[in-house]
A = this chain, B = another copy of it.
Amino acid sequence: MFPKATISRFPMYFRVLTEYNHQNIALVSSEEMARKVGVTSSQIRKDLSYFGSLGIRGAGYDVAYLLAKIKEILGMDKKRRLAIIGAGKLGLALAGYTGLKQHGLEVAALFDIDQSKWGTTSGQLTVFPLTALASQKEELGMEIAVLTVPGAVAQTVANMAVQAGFKALWNFAPVRLVVPKNVIVQYEDLVVGILTLSHHLARKFG
């Protein structure tokens, strides 16, 4: 089995390859990619080797082919639809975040318990009542539930998402969720990054 960090490097590989593709560069070496991404070339070769012999010895990697492979590995060959639960600032920001669309991810609808938020938002997205989660999941073909709700209600909302049939949760609430074994949870803690910076600042400058 490959290291967990391997998958986390693939989005970066995807982006630089997209760039090369856009520049009509057909072949690229691991050394060249490494410079751009900021990792070692052997790291890139090792990461890719977990998924087969994807390169051409003596020549490098075929940009279009590798791009297709990475899309496949990251599940980007199929369009994934997201349900954002919690139409607060963070939920709305994610709904309008272009980075998602650029990676084949589509926010299909938002959900909130607050009646005053129901209806259509600035974009062409609709905020539904939380109770409509299960029915809209089927209607819109959503697979991933994004939890942008306060920590205090995160577990309750997670239960509802599981009940509605979601098998994957992307959780922004700073809470460990208890879910059935067949449900995947990806935790996203925005505070970790900034506090890591704060720690380094404190070390260096006090």
A residues within 8 Å of B by Cβ? 7-8, 10-12, 15, 36-38, 72-78, 80, 82, 89-90, 92-94, 96-97, 99-100, 103, 105, 143-144, 146, 167-168, 170, 174, 176, 184, 186-206
Contact = CB atoms under 8 A, between A and B. Distances in A.
A66 to B, nearest CB: 16
A67 to B, nearest CB: 14
Contact of A89 (B10, B97, B103, B203): B97
Contacts of A37: 176
How many copies of this chain are found per oligomer? 2
Nearest to A39: B176
A102 to B, nearest CB: 8
A150 B128 CA distance: 30
Nearest to A184: B200
29 contacts: A7-B195, A7-B199, A10-B199, A11-B189, A11-B191, A11-B192, A36-B176, A73-B202, A74-B195, A76-B198, A78-B206, A80-B198, A89-B96, A89-B97, A90-B93, A93-B93, A93-B94, A99-B190, A99-B191, A143-B201, A167-B201, A168-B197, A168-B200, A170-B194, A170-B197, A184-B200, A184-B201, A184-B204, A188-B193
